[in-house]
Structures are given as C-alpha cells and as structure tokens.
Structure 1
Amino acid sequence: MKSLEDKIAEWGGNPARMLQNSPVGKYVYPIPAEFSNWMEEQRAWREGVVLFDQSVHMTDLYVRGPDVMRLLSDLAVNSFKGFGPNKAKQIVCVNEEGFLIGDCILFGLGEDEVNIVGRPNLPNWVQFHAETGGYDVTVERDERRIDAPDAPRKTYRYELQGPKAMALLEELNEGGPLVTKFFQMGEITIAGCRARTLSHGMGGAEGLEFWGPAEDGPAVKAAILKAGASHGLRQAGARAYSSVAAESGWIPSPVPAIYEGEATRAYREWLPAASFEGVASIGGSFQSDDIRDYYVTPWDFDYGRVVKFDHDFIGRAALEKMAEGPHRQKITLVWDRDGVLEIFAGLMGPDPKPKLMEMPTGHYAAHPFDAVLGGEGRRIGFSTYPTYTVNESAWISLAVVEPEFASPGSRVELLWGEDPVSEKPVVERHRQMRLGAEVQPWPIHAASRESYRKRG
C-alpha cells in the first residue's frame, strides 16, 4: 500500500505543492444541503432552536485499556488532572517542534475508555502512537461516511442549540435532571431511548449534544421533530452547518504539522496515501512552496490557554521555549461591503472574473488559506473560512495575524483568489482581487464571548 511518504516523494518532496493541487475540494458534510433554507437555518441558532445532525461527518476513535490515560498524557498539551468518566474536554496535540497536529473533543466513557471525535487527522495521530508506542490499549474506528460509505455507524449524534433549546430538551426528556454544567456529561431519555449528553453551546445560549446507538437514531429524531414543531425548530443542512465555525470562532482544520522532518517520517510511512492527510487540499491566495509556512502553534489558535507543563508530552520542550511569545493572534475579520459587492459584480463582467464566493461559505478547499496584508502590502497572516452570516448581515472570516494588527477596529487587506491559479479542478479560471476588512473579536457575537466562551 502506498504511503503518504511515497506520495510526497512523487511530488518531488514538496507537500505544499501536492496539497495546493489536490483534486479534493472542501470538507464534506454528507447531509441534505438544506431542510428549509439556509438563511433561516442560520437564524435558528441565534433566535430559536436548531437541530444539527452530526452522525456521519466525523471520525470516532475509541481507545480502551489500562494505558489510555498514559497515552493521552504523552500526546496532548492538556492536563488530565480531574479528567475521567463523564468528563469531556478539547484535546490538542502538537509535533516535536510544537506545531499543531489538530484538536478534537475527548469524551471520558469509562475508567479505561475514551472516545475522540472530530476530523480524521487527530484520531490518526493517536491511533499511530497507540499501535506503535508500546501502550496496553486497543483502538476501534468508526469512520465518517465519506471514508466508509457503506459501513453502518455505531452511534447517532445530534445537537440542539439556540435560546429555545433547553426548553425543548426539558420537554423531550423522560429521565432525570439534565446536566447543564459546561462540558460536563450526563444522560437524557427521548422516546424511551437513553443517550449520553455533553453540555456546551454557541450563540450565547445553552444546548446539549447527545448520542446513542445508531438504531435509536430514527426514533429519537422523530420525537425531536414532533416536539420541536411548537418551538419553531429548524434542522440545519450542510450549507448552514458549514457556516457555524466562523460564527463560533473555531478554526476546524489546521494543516497538520506532519509533512516533513525526521521526527514524523515513521508516521508518514504509516499513513496511507489516500488518508485525509494525503488527499486534503490547500486553497487560497496564501501560497508558499514551504509547507512549514502553513503550520501553526497552539497560540495562533488561542489554545495556549490549555497548554499545561505539568506532564511530559510530545512537543513540550519546544512549547516551553515558545511560551513567552510573541504570538500571533486569532481574530474575526469583517469584510468590507464595497469589496464584497465588487467581487459579485465582477461575476457579471468580462473575463477573467473574480473567484466565485459561494454562499454561505466561500471556501473551496479542506484547508482554506487567504493572505492578510498589512501596511505596504506586507503579508501579516492568513484568513480562513470566509462565510456569509445572515445573523451579522456580513461576510466574515477567521484569521491569524501578527499581534500589532489584532486590535478591534484595525484595518487590514485581504487577497481573494489564487495567483497563479492552482490545478485543483474545483477552481475556475479567475483573477485575484484585493479588498479591505476590519478586525473584530471572536466569536463575533457578543453574547457568545460573554457567556459561552467564558464558561470554557
């Protein structure tokens, strides 16, 4: 079987060029594009209640055995003091040089059992070390639908969010009191089916994620839809769901820092060429022949707050040297109205037209990277996940920039479109454009910053 290392060699040892020209487009959510219309589905998590069906687009990695906690502690920047059954947390891993591999949600299912849920790059990293590091653990994968279209999934996973979510959940619950303390796990019973829950929220309102055996999914969803009708429930389709990250301030998919260097060679030789890391694409105006220019540190994504030097882990020495900074900062960019209108007006003008910005999410690669420019056109960072949100009546994106440009109200410029245009078949011929943007905090919604994020 061809490995990722073999595939990089076929590209002359240049993984940046390989990813920039990958034929694969953006990350896929294999659910209906819309259940009603994406604008009202967006409004639902800010004004009412929305149902997210997360059953098919994420990888689940179950890790069991007496060395589970030792494995996780050896890999993650997080502290595991106080972690155990019925607890959940974000797990963040870096390479030996302190650059990000990825992050996922970690669920404590039992004394010696956890589930890691998210995009495949972090489950892959954990599985590799579980299998090659001499740990007394076993791993079981439950693949996202796109990687195993015919395989049944172990669980359904739903989420109800929005200011009316808790009222609906209380009405649906046939069991004991709901656990609503932030990032604590509990139980709920819906339509006679018991499920486990995780308390978290977005849009400044509480909500619950809950999951159970896949065979219970249809009955649970039917009960939710029936009870939800009187609450104005909306189901979120793929179009609305793809815009959640930009509003909530989460960057889902860093380029995992594994594509070069001896420290990760064995991992690249273990990863198949057809893995997520092997087929993922980079798209946008931030173009470099050096893959390291796409790597990020925990501080770039505001994960410095979870780095704890109370245990030994891969990358600890490098992070200790980085800790004092300076660090780039994550921000929200609000794109200038006139610049956005110029892009759309250009689609009705002569060729070459501007790069299409599909609504509500304009990105077209697994790893969107657009250049952010400061004074005199100097590149000061990158922008990712351009999104139109009806809740803000604006195009926004998340960005990572040098600290002197990160103050709210600061002005920067964006480059939209590729130059040169890559070989990705999802990218049409176009011309690159420059437009202004204003720096704002993240999440952009004040209630989210003041309640959801503070509770974290």
Structure 2
Amino acid sequence: MSEKKPKSLQDLLDATPDLVSYFYNDTHSPHAMATPGAAPLPPEFTNWRDEQRAWRESVLLFDQSYHMPETFLRGPDAQKLLSDLGINSFENFTPLRAKQYFCCNHRGYVIGECVLQLLDDGTYELISGTYVQNWVEYNARAGGYDVTLERDPPFAENPRGRRMYHLQLEGPFARDVFAEAIEGEMPDIPFFRMAKVKIAGSDVYVLRHGMAGHLGVELSGPFAELDRVRMRLLEVGAKYGIRRSGTKAQYSALGESGWFGYPVPAVYTDPELADYRKWLPADSWEGRTQLGGSLVLPSIEQYYVTPWDLGADKLLKFDHDFIGREALQEMAKRTDHRKKVTLVWNEEDVARVYASLMGPDLPFKYMELPKSSYSFHQHDEVRNERGDIVGFSKFVGYTVNEAKFLSIAIVAPEAAAPGTQVILTWGEPNGGSRKPMVERHRQTTIRATVAPNPYAKAAQQQKNAALMKAAAV
C-alpha cells in the first residue's frame, strides 16, 4: 500500500524531518530560469554573446511574456490589502504608477517581492514573484477583503490563457526604437512611471524601467496583440541593429543589473503562518523550493533574508500598519545589517575550473555559460581571507560586456567595502547532491573581489535614480 501523499505544505513539512536536505536533494526547480526551454522561446535567437552585447551597444528585445506569473487585483479593498501586507508606502500611489513591492512575515523576514503596477482602470497588476502572489491571494481570501483576484500562471502551466504580454527594450538605442514605433509624440515618462501609447494600432502600457543597465521601457498589453506589437518593434529596430533575446541572455542579465531574484520565502517556520501553510498545496512553489551550492545550513530559517540584505530598506516605510512592522522597527535599530554586493571572480581561478575538464582527476563543478547557477536558490559560501564565513553568493554568470564572471552576494558589513578580497567555495560538498543537473565533481575555491551592486556603471546610475524616485512614492 503506497504512502499517502501530502496535500498541503504543512503536511509536507510534518512528513519531512530534514527540510534542508529535502530541498537540497529531491526537488526540481519550479522556475523556467533553472530549466530554459520551458517557455516557447529558444535559448538563443542568434548567439548569447551578441545578444548580451546588444543591451550594451545597440538594442535588445526581451520577451517576458511566458515565464512570469501575474495576479490581477480589483475592488474597494485592493489597496488596503496590499498596504496591510507590504512594507511599501501607498501614499500618492495613483494610476499609471509602479513600485517594487515587498512582503515580510511577522518576524520581519522577506516572503517575496514583485513589480506592482496600478493600471488606469484601477486594476493592480502584480508581475512575477509567485511567493508574494500566493501570500496576497491567501490573505485576500482569509481576511475577508472586498476584492476580486485573478491569477495568470506562467505559460508552462497555462499555455492557452495568458492575459498579458510583456516586452522590454534595453540598450542605448531603446529610446529611439520606442519613439519611432509609437503613434504620435514621445511621452515624457519619469522613471518607474507608466503611460499609454499606441503601437501598430494597439493600446500599449509603457513602464519606464530597466534591467540591463539602460533606461529602457517595458511594454505590455493583451496577449492576443503580442505578435503585432513585437513585429512593429523589430521592423523599426532593424536599422538600429536590434536583436531578440533568448533565454540564455535574458537570465544572464542579473550579473550586470544586480537583481537578487527569489530569496528563499520565509514561510516555513513562523508559527503565525501555520494556517497559510495548510492552505498552500504541497506541490506549490514553496513546496518545490530547490537549494544548491556549497553553503549547506542546519535549518531552513537560516536562509531567510531581510529587506536590508536585499537593499530594499529604502522602500521600507512605517507610515502604515502591516505584517512584520514591529519586528522591522526593531531590526532598523541595528547597525550590523548585511549588504548586497557584486563579486568579481578571479580569472585565473575560473580558468583553472575549466582546465580541470582536461585532466585525469574528477573535474571541478562545471561552470555553464553564460548562467552558471545550477539550482533555483543558489547559495555558495563566501569567506574572508582568515577563513571565516562572511556571507553567501547567489546568482553567478559570465557577461561578455565586462568579460568577467560576476555573482550577486550578501555579505557582512565588514566584508562589503569595494576592493575587499574574499574566497568563494565552488561546488557542492561530498561530490554533489542528487539534483539531476549536478554531476559528480570536486569542490574548489575561487578568489573574488567585492564590487558595487549593480556592477555596470550604467546600472548603478539607474539604481540610484530608481531608489530616489521610489523613496518619494
């Protein structure tokens, strides 16, 4: 007689004595980032090197219409619900505005984040961030809020019913392509603000946004009009050398932009979230969380992060009541918050990893190009030169624009100054885990230099402008 399968996340936790080991060895990533090809986009339209160069030298068209989940929220209590859950202020949040939206648990640790847009018809659109979208849906239903809520899963789970497309233009000529593609005058759109334009006869929402270091635009509209709008952008962009981004280039942009996507959701241990865990299915993203890398911690809560770890403390406002407020007020008194940084990997050490493929011994962990992360939640230990663990590295990949391997890391304040030398452990202990994408390998160390986050100068300037704008919203 087969064992009864767990129905809820809480059932799964009750049946799993070692949650870290389970997530480290026995789950498959729920996100297309870890398995390119889950969406109907090729890994490369031309080659990922030229596609990366396009966001620095010409213009690149990202198609984000397939992998991002969305939630659409309407009703009298919609903003109250979001305010009750989010660390962000909603003062002056009017239609055609957007913000990076963060939710924390009662202890002040991050559950998730997403981009939140307020459309001109009063609809709140939550883009990407399944963890936070699950949290919003649960509270909408359990809290008695007067709202209507519609979920739009990624294409792999919902190939016939996607509601909105999302395209993004990045690069020094992104503005030129956009200006020529639209009908009428070029609108003046402040950073992280929205407007409506027409492209090829279609109404299009425009978010002044950027992911790869330039002040690009994100375009969205009804999914049925995707082909028409995309063809117009490619037609106009031809003279500017436009390229389309495959999944390899798209997911490798994190190294330059510095975005720390999808932290481990802080939902597994908070006693006040017991009912939430009973509501979440066992096969939810939270139940399929995947860990990997050299940093194996004793308990799942040691992987949790705070808004300060992610550089999101500038978005934290205590002008409203929300879940986690009291804990975050206490955290705000501390002076030892970890910092998000970029690590620039030592070229000789990287070359040594590749050279091991040619030797007689078991090679070091392979470094895939251009994205070298091999689990959804990558955590590689980072030590100082004395050998003390000072943090962890998450995303890692190669950028042809910088000709370097870069990773996004969270480190202790004493290790966060640019120029600090650290040592990263590459590969998993004991020859690797049971994850199918992890081959048998040896661990090794990689020297790295701490650098600003984001790394690219253009991205740094963009981030500073975005934070100044966001703080004012």
TM over 0.5: same fold?
yes
* Higher deviation after alignment, 410-419 or 28-37: 28-37
- Whole-angstrom distance in 2 between the partners of 1:347 and 1:385: 23
- Whole-angstrom distance in 2 between the partners of 1:211 and 1:379: 43
Match of 2:15 among 2, 5, 10: 10
Give the match for residue 470 of structure 2: none
Query: How many Å apart are 1:27 and its aligned residue?
Result: 3.3
* Higher deviation after alignment, 221-230 or 394-403: 221-230
Give the match for residue 271 of structure 1: 280
Whether the 8 Å contact between 2:213 and 2:256 is mirrored in structure 1 is: no
Give the match for residue 431 of structure 1: 442
Q: Which amino acid aligns with 1:346?
A: S
> Do the aligned partners of residues 224 and 111 (structure 1) sit closer, same or farther apart at CA in structure 2, a change above 3 Å counting?
closer
Give the match for residue 164 of structure 1: 173
* Higher deviation after alignment, 176-185 or 73-82: 176-185
- Whole-angstrom distance in 2 between the partners of 1:454 and 1:63: 28
Give the match for residue 203 of structure 2: 194
> Do the aligned partners of residues 64 and 382 (structure 1) sit closer, same or farther apart at CA in structure 2, a change above 3 Å counting?
same
Identity %: 43
Q: Which amino acid aligns with 2:23?
A: L
- Whether 2:58 is the aligned partner of 1:58: answer no
- Whether 2:190 is the aligned partner of 1:181: answer yes
- Whole-angstrom distance in 2 between the partners of 1:261 and 1:201: 35
Query: How many Å apart are 1:451 and its aligned residue?
Result: 3.7
- Whole-angstrom distance in 1 between the partners of 2:99 and 2:384: 36
**1:299-338, aligned counterparts within 5 Å?**
299-325=308-334, 326-338=336-348
Query: How many Å apart are 1:201 and its aligned residue?
Result: 2.1
2:42 aligned counterpart, secondary structure: coil
Paired positions, count: 454
Query: How many Å apart are 1:455 and its aligned residue?
Result: 3.8
Give the match for residue 471 of structure 2: none
Whether the 8 Å contact between 2:97 and 2:194 is mirrored in structure 1 is: yes
Give the match for residue 27 of structure 1: 34
Q: Which amino acid aligns with 2:348?
A: D
Match of 1:233 among 230, 238, 242: 242
Structure 2: unaligned runs, 5 residues or longer:
1-5, 468-473
Query: How many Å apart are 1:69 and its aligned residue?
Result: 1.0
Match of 2:455 among 429, 444, 453: 444
Deviations 1:94-137 (A, max 9, x none): 10000011110001024642010013111111111111111111
Structure 1: unaligned runs, 5 residues or longer:
none
- Whole-angstrom distance in 1 between the partners of 2:34 and 2:329: 33
Whether the 8 Å contact between 1:159 and 1:209 is mirrored in structure 2 is: yes
Give the match for residue 392 of structure 2: 382
- Whole-angstrom distance in 1 between the partners of 2:276 and 2:385: 40
Whether the 8 Å contact between 2:66 and 2:155 is mirrored in structure 1 is: yes
Q: Which amino acid aligns with 2:245?
A: A
Cα RMSD after superposing both structures: 1.4
Q: Which amino acid aligns with 2:21?
A: R
1:299 aligned counterpart, secondary structure: coil
Whether the 8 Å contact between 1:50 and 1:235 is mirrored in structure 2 is: yes
- Whole-angstrom distance in 2 between the partners of 1:425 and 1:28: 12
- Whether 2:49 is the aligned partner of 1:39: answer yes
Whether the 8 Å contact between 1:22 and 1:280 is mirrored in structure 2 is: no
- Whole-angstrom distance in 1 between the partners of 2:272 and 2:184: 50
Q: Which amino acid aligns with 2:198?
A: T
- Whole-angstrom distance in 2 between the partners of 1:40 and 1:453: 28
Whether the 8 Å contact between 1:90 and 1:105 is mirrored in structure 2 is: yes
- Whole-angstrom distance in 2 between the partners of 1:147 and 1:451: 34
Whether the 8 Å contact between 1:28 and 1:57 is mirrored in structure 2 is: no
Query: How many Å apart are 1:202 and its aligned residue?
Result: 4.1
Give the match for residue 118 of structure 2: 108
- Whole-angstrom distance in 2 between the partners of 1:227 and 1:384: 37
Give the match for residue 360 of structure 2: 350
Give the match for residue 68 of structure 1: 78
Whether the 8 Å contact between 1:63 and 1:139 is mirrored in structure 2 is: yes
- Whole-angstrom distance in 2 between the partners of 1:55 and 1:194: 16
- Whole-angstrom distance in 2 between the partners of 1:144 and 1:212: 16
Give the match for residue 299 of structure 2: 290
Whether the 8 Å contact between 1:201 and 1:452 is mirrored in structure 2 is: no
Whether the 8 Å contact between 1:42 and 1:240 is mirrored in structure 2 is: yes
Give the match for residue 413 of structure 1: 423
Normalising by the residue count of structure 2, what TM-score does the alignment of the two structures yield?
Answer: 0.93
Give the match for residue 422 of structure 1: 433
Normalising by the residue count of structure 1, what TM-score does the alignment of the two structures yield?
Answer: 0.97
Give the match for residue 157 of structure 2: 147
- Whole-angstrom distance in 2 between the partners of 1:412 and 1:273: 39
Whether the 8 Å contact between 2:256 and 2:459 is mirrored in structure 1 is: no
Match of 1:81 among 91, 98, 103: 91
1:229 aligned counterpart, secondary structure: helix
